[in-house]
Structure 1
Amino acid sequence: MLNAKSEIQKDTFEPASDNLSERSSILTEMFRKALFRNRVQLVGGILFAIGTPLIFRFGFDQLPINSSALSNTIVGSIFALTCGFFFFRRLIDYPGTEGIAYAIPIFAVTYGATVIVFLFLRLDYSRYLLGASYFLTVVWFTCISIGMVRLRTLRIGIVPGGSANALLSLPSVKWREIREVSEPTENLNAVVVDLDHSFPTEWERFITETAVSGTPVFDVKHLRETLTGRLEIEHLSENTLGSLNPDHMYLRGKQAIDRVLALLVIVLLAPFFAIIILAIQLDSPGPAIFRQKRMGYRGSIFTVYKFRTMRAEQVGSVDDRDRAITKAEDDRITRLGHFLRRTRIDELPQVLNILRGEMSWIGPRPEAVPLSMWYEKELPFYRYRHIVHPGISGWAQVMQGHVASTDEVLEKLHYDFYYIKNFSPWLDILIVLKTIRTILTGFGAK
């Protein structure tokens, strides 16, 4: 996905300190520019992750060039590293995503796929070189990510007028208010402007010249969305509706994949489900499976299944709005329930909903019917989130966590709309990785 973030991060580096010599300053700037170039990262990764173990094992003069196992491994490692780099770069273009946490799982997938190909085609390969290559690839791109985080500082100019100044509150950006049309913009990564505002002729000419000169110019709404991962919507216009229509081809393909994965999970985890059911019944009286009416795809009502985490007599009726909201440190949650909620194991029975086509693995969380009806009265456009299947995990959950108040739900709605607008396999993969982090850290659990 090509977005404002990928555009404005090409040469995002701090100017060298005034205390450094002019020569050191030039070298520092060259290094920082190189660090953000894709070809430098990729070629450097190949040389470091594949060249280093080769030289360490065989030296410069003793490479077994005629070894088919070595040749296969070199080609396979380059392929795995290149594919992993492509996925890596696509994922970290999304807001709030740094590559430090994702190098291990992304390259584990591509290198694992390479091993499967070797085994399927019965090709000889060097386990040492492939394993060392994977390890050094993770080290390389983790270090690259750390360097990018420390050195990246976006310098963005703000054209006065309209709502552009509202961006000044966003962190991790050095904002510069442009006060005169004669001010230079060469040292800025981008310029932001409220295109809905009516500007004088001289400012319109300035905006045009800035774009022509090569400095990216972004509308305030687009840039806010890129930096925050939230879609700001004041009213649903014709263009807004068009941008929020999900890709129906991917929607259908995703549903088929969802059902296949759900069937595999049910078969593989059936013994684990039985253990959890037994543990719940031993922990507190009542049924092990909790059922509740939720609002789903296109506003249809369905019954969602979860492992029970609250005392059965206090779960409450679906008509009770207050009881449908789980608050922090809710005294209805059982001892085992706290663990199930923190690890998200309580959500696993929803694979039945996925198998029935009522839910997806990834999508906006389905709300209880009384809550959904309440939100529809309180929040404009809330019902539009039902244009895609609800999911076990979603963009709002991994970015915001559990919510209860109306203000928090409105914030959640902005994240849901961002997901719908950017509906793609790349965003779903990122949500899966963030969900794994959520499971390990318990972020947002109630």
Structure 2
Amino acid sequence: MTWKKRIFDLAFLLAISWMVVPVLLYALVLLRWRDRSPLFYVSERMRAPGQPFLFWKLRTMRPDPGDSGVSGGHKTARLTPTGRLLRRTRGDELPQAWNIIRGDLSLVGPRAPLRLYVEAFPELYARVLRARPGITGLATLVYSQHEQKLLAQCSTPAETDATYRRRCIPYKARLDLLYQRHASVRTDLWLIAVTAGRAFGLLPRHSRRLPRRRRKIPMGGDLRRRDGTHASRLYALA
């Protein structure tokens, strides 16, 4: 992460702290009242190959000691009513402000992956994680709804894992690499604005436009080809 992006993250976080802190406190009180403890969900994620960190979120599911892997359809029954609200508004991600302060996350970037996927596709994630993981990003905005639909069809952890590896990781990697090529303050501000607009219901929660061509990305193969996408396409995708 460049020093300019780091300064941008901290300055933006400071500018909106007057709004984030009261909302976070309200969410904590609501969780304590309706769902009891624990209030936080903490899991290991990777900010780069070989660099794990603790990823903080507000708890949205009933605890399960055997929980592992990506969230999917087989976990939907564990969502609490409060958790559904927090996920819909992305309020569950407010504690990640601490991860930004620590330097584990940026405001905008690829979604922080689990260790098992980074180790399964090391060459792919070596490229994707050249950008610091973010709370939001192009892949998150464009693909999250489609990913949820794919994983909602899964009924077992094994099925969820297989679907995520085969149908989600390659496509999200393409979008993350596209973001890397066009990363700028203007792009980050746009993606943050789209994220906020969807969280507050001012914009549709799904992308109206996806890339027409779904070029297959080899797992660990050559990812150097440029797709010629102009920066303006990022805004259309989001």
TM-score higher than 0.5? yes
Distance across 2 between alignment mates of 1:373 and 1:275: 38
What amino acid is the match of 1:334?
T
Distance across 1 between alignment mates of 2:127 and 2:183: 14
Distance across 2 between alignment mates of 1:269 and 1:284: 21
Deviation at 1:418, TM superposition (A): 0.4
Matched-pair identity in %: 26
Select 1:365's aligned residue among 87, 111, 114.
111
What amino acid is the match of 1:333?
L
Deviation at 1:337, TM superposition (A): 0.6
Please tell me whether the aligned partners of residues 310 and 332 of structure 1 are also in contact (alpha carbons under 8 angstroms): yes
Paired position in structure 1 for 2:192: 432
Of structures 1 and 2, the larger Rg is shown by: 1
Deviation at 1:298, TM superposition (A): 5.4
What amino acid is the match of 2:170?
L
Distance across 2 between alignment mates of 1:373 and 1:280: 34
Distance across 2 between alignment mates of 1:305 and 1:355: 12
Deviation at 1:284, TM superposition (A): 1.8
Q: How does 1:199-218 map to 2 (within 5 A)?
A: none
Deviation at 1:352, TM superposition (A): 0.5
- Residue 401 (structure 1) aligned with residue 147 (structure 2): no
Paired position in structure 2 for 1:305: 56
What amino acid is the match of 1:415?
L
Deviation at 1:293, TM superposition (A): 0.6
Paired position in structure 2 for 1:274: 25
Paired position in structure 1 for 2:233: none
Once the two structures are superposed, residues 85-109 of structure 1 have per-residue CA deviations (whole angstroms, 9 ceiling, x without a partner) of: xxxxxxxxxxxxxxxxxxxxxxxxx
Paired position in structure 1 for 2:42: 291
Q: 1:298 to 1:258 in 2, by over 3 A?
A: farther
Paired position in structure 2 for 1:345: 91
Paired position in structure 1 for 2:173: 413
Please tell me whether the aligned partners of residues 285 and 311 of structure 1 are also in contact (alpha carbons under 8 angstroms): no
Once the two structures are superposed, residues 360-391 of structure 1 have per-residue CA deviations (whole angstroms, 9 ceiling, x without a partner) of: 111101022234334x16xx523311111110
Segment of structure 1 superposing worse, 435-444 or 399-408: 435-444
Distance across 1 between alignment mates of 2:43 and 2:75: 21
Please tell me whether the aligned partners of residues 263 and 355 of structure 1 are also in contact (alpha carbons under 8 angstroms): no
SS in 1 for 2:77: coil
- Residue 388 (structure 1) aligned with residue 131 (structure 2): yes
Of structures 1 and 2, the one scoring higher in RCO (CA 8 A, sep 6+) is 2
Q: 1:315 to 1:261 in 2, by over 3 A?
A: farther
Distance across 2 between alignment mates of 1:279 and 1:315: 23
Distance across 2 between alignment mates of 1:256 and 1:301: 22
Count residues in correspondence: 187
Deviation at 1:414, TM superposition (A): 0.4
SS in 2 for 1:287: coil
The TM-score, its normalising length taken from structure 1, stands at 0.39
Once the two structures are superposed, residues 261-314 of structure 1 have per-residue CA deviations (whole angstroms, 9 ceiling, x without a partner) of: 3244445432322221111122223211111110114541000111110112x2
Give the gaps of 5 or more residues in structure 2. Answer: 152-163, 208-238
Select 1:356's aligned residue among 92, 95, 102.
102
The TM-score, its normalising length taken from structure 2, stands at 0.70
Deviation at 1:316, TM superposition (A): 4.1
